[in-house]
């Protein structure tokens, strides 16, 4: 009984908070001129930041329903513009067709610290999007604004090393998503002179990395990840650097999903390293193939892979047969170290071939490998497949231990990217031979 009373009281408190947020939001939006808007933005921001998570749903709901353009006003403006498409009609159309939400978010963003709050707001919103498809319009408006605010021209690239503030390094440890960093000693190795770590920062969030990439400087293109992230690996002398390997790239801020950062970071890092070490000739990745195992087990029929020609498809089918035998009829077993250890060279080549088939034939499809799509769309080339490149549990499970190098040939990026947008995938002679 008492509990119910308490709950009811808490609920009333929450409702009051929510109502106040919306009243403030409307007030901020209706403000003519900017004189008070900064103070109002601060207050509203503060109230939003104090809302408990369960209070956000109602806020998103209202934002998606009450801050839309007026359909009739839009229609009238569109008709006028269609009748006479001049500047005055266009300005009128722009005024009425932009959702008022956008102006609300822009005004909020005048307050110190607002950018960070809005990014976290979108993080929460993305979490509920599946349940609330109507929130899509709010999410889309935020994304639109973030595209302006987190424009690569506004981002600062900084090198992170052992002289960086501890609080920053702590965030790096926490956010590394590809090859986990096991504490400070591990991190320290990854910051030695033959390893580099670069991150993007926004002037408004100077202590928070948005995305970072880890690079190894090596004498040749690597075939396995273990030596690169070995805590005790010896440091290599700079005169041996020939190849820069992007071996891990991690987003730190889920609220920025959809804002392009990785592509710009990789290219800026490549330019930076080439200035620093003119002898660096090769820029490549050593990447996982997260979807390979699942696809392998799933795909009994290759005929839908339009990138491939008939003889290639025929060879793929043969390879799959061979692997079925080698794994005793259970392809899932190919994710076990013992099974892989026993494969003969024909079976090994079959596995490589199928990985090539997967990456070349499947990437442009809806089920394709996201890592492959990211790099190929960035203008990289599928360069080399590396069996047993990742012997860690995750690597075995995802891709039977297979890893792949994507090559960034700075002179050819543009052409490869153009081709990729036409559905064509760039690959090396080595990969061609596998197919």
Which residues are identified as catalytic?
Answer: 287, 375
CB of 59 to a second copy, least distance (A): 16
**Which has the closest alpha carbon to 119: 256, 265, 292?**
256
Binding span for a second copy by CB under 8 A among 145-153, 248-256, 333-341, 348-356: 145-153
CB of 15 to a second copy, least distance (A): 25
- Non-local (6+) Cβ contacts of 144 within 8 A are 102
CA–CA gap between residue 40 and residue 127 (Å, rounded): 28
List binders of a second copy among 376-435 (CB under 8 A). 377-379, 413-414, 417-418, 421
Of 64, 312, 363, 399, the one binding a second copy (CB under 8 A) is 64
**Which has the closest alpha carbon to 346: 378, 382, 370, 320?**
320
Of 186, 264, 336, 368, the one binding a second copy (CB under 8 A) is 264
CB of 3 to a second copy, least distance (A): 29
CA–CA gap between residue 148 and residue 323 (Å, rounded): 50
CB of 113 to a second copy, least distance (A): 8
Binding span for a second copy by CB under 8 A among 96-104, 300-308, 323-331, 345-353: 96-104
- What's the angle, vertex CA 241, arms to CA 380 and CA 166, rounded to 5? 85
Strand order from edge to edge, sheet including 243-251? 156-159, 195-201, 211-218, 243-251, 282-285, 403-408, 381-386
CB of 237 within 8 A of CB of 210?
Answer: no
| 130 binds a second copy, rule: CB under 8 A | no
| 87 binds a second copy, rule: CB under 8 A | yes
| 149 binds a second copy, rule: CB under 8 A | yes
Q: Compute CA distances 82 → 68, 88, 90, 95, 98, whole Å.
A: 22, 12, 10, 16, 18
**Which has the closest alpha carbon to 402: 326, 247, 289?**
289
Of 26, 58, 62, 69, the one binding a second copy (CB under 8 A) is 69
Of 23, 49, 82, 337, the one binding a second copy (CB under 8 A) is 82
Q: Compute CA distances 229 → 289, 382, 386, whole Å.
A: 18, 23, 17
- Non-local (6+) Cβ contacts of 48 within 8 A are 21, 59, 117, 121
| 137 binds a second copy, rule: CB under 8 A | yes
Of 20, 62, 126, 152, the one binding a second copy (CB under 8 A) is 152
- Non-local (6+) Cβ contacts of 339 within 8 A are 326, 327, 333
| 75 binds a second copy, rule: CB under 8 A | yes
Binding span for a second copy by CB under 8 A among 61-69, 174-182, 286-294, 426-434: 61-69
| 263 binds a second copy, rule: CB under 8 A | yes
CB of 137 within 8 A of CB of 99?
Answer: yes
| 230 binds a second copy, rule: CB under 8 A | no
CB of 154 to a second copy, least distance (A): 6
**Which has the closest alpha carbon to 15: 41, 52, 45?**
52
Rg of the chain (C-alpha set): 26
List binders of a second copy among 318-357 (CB under 8 A). none
CB of 29 to a second copy, least distance (A): 14
Of 8, 38, 346, 393, the one binding a second copy (CB under 8 A) is 38
**Which has the closest alpha carbon to 432: 384, 390, 365?**
384
Q: Name which of 78 and 223 has its Cβ closer to a second copy.
A: 78
Binding span for a second copy by CB under 8 A among 160-168, 213-221, 324-332, 337-345: 160-168
| 164 binds a second copy, rule: CB under 8 A | yes
| 235 binds a second copy, rule: CB under 8 A | no
Q: Name which of 114 and 252 has its Cβ closer to a second copy.
A: 114
- Residue count at the site for a second copy (CB under 8 A)? 77
């Amino acid at each position: 009984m008492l509990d119910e009373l308490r709950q009811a009281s808490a609920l009333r408190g929450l409702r009051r908070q929510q109502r106040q947020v919306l009243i403030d939001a409307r007030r901020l939006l209706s403000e003519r001129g900017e004189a008070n808007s900064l103070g109002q933005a601060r207050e509203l921001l503060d109230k939003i930041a104090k809302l408990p998570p369960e209070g956000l749903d109602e806020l998103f709901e209202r934002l998606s329903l009450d801050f839309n353009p007026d359909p009739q006003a839009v229609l009238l403006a569109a008709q006028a513009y269609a009748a006479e498409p001049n500047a005055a009609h266009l300005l009128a159309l722009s005024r009425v067709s932009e959702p008022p939400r956008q102006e609300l978010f822009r005004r909020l963003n005048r307050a110190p610290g607002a950018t960070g709050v809005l990014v976290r707001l979108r993080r929460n919103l993305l979490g509920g999007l599946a349940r609330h498809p109507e929130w899509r319009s709010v999410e889309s408006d935020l994304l639109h604004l973030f595209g302006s605010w987190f424009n690569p021209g506004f981002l600062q690239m900084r090198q992170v090393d052992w002289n960086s503030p501890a609080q920053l390094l702590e965030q790096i440890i926490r956010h590394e998503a590809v090859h986990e960093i096991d504490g400070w000693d591990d991190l320290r190795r990854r910051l030695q002179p033959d390893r580099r770590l670069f991150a993007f920062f926004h002037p408004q969030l100077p202590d928070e990395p948005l995305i970072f990439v880890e690079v190894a400087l090596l004498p040749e293109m690597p075939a396995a990840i273990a030596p690169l992230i070995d805590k005790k690996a010896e440091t290599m002398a700079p005169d041996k650097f020939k190849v820069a390997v992007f071996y891990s790239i991690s987003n730190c801020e889920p609220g920025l999903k959809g804002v392009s950062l990785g592509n710009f970071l990789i290219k800026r890092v490549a330019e930076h390293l080439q200035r620093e070490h003119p002898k660096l000739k090769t820029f490549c990745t050593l990447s996982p193939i997260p979807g390979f195992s699942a696809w392998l087990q799933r795909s009994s029929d290759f005929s839908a892979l339009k990138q491939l020609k008939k003889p290639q498809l025929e060879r793929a089918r043969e390879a799959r047969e061979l692997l079925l035998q080698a794994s005793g009829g259970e392809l899932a077993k190919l994710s076990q170290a013992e099974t892989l250890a026993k494969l003969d060279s024909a079976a090994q080549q079959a596995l490589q071939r199928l990985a090539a088939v997967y990456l070349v034939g499947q990437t442009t499809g809806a089920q394709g490998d996201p890592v492959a799509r990211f790099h190929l769309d960035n203008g990289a080339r599928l360069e080399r497949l590396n069996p047993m490149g990742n012997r860690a549990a995750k690597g075995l499970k995802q891709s039977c231990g297979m890893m792949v190098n994507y090559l960034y040939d700075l002179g050819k990026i543009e052409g490869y990217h153009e081709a990729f947008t036409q559905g064509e995938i760039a690959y090396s002679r080595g990969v061609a031979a596998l197919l």
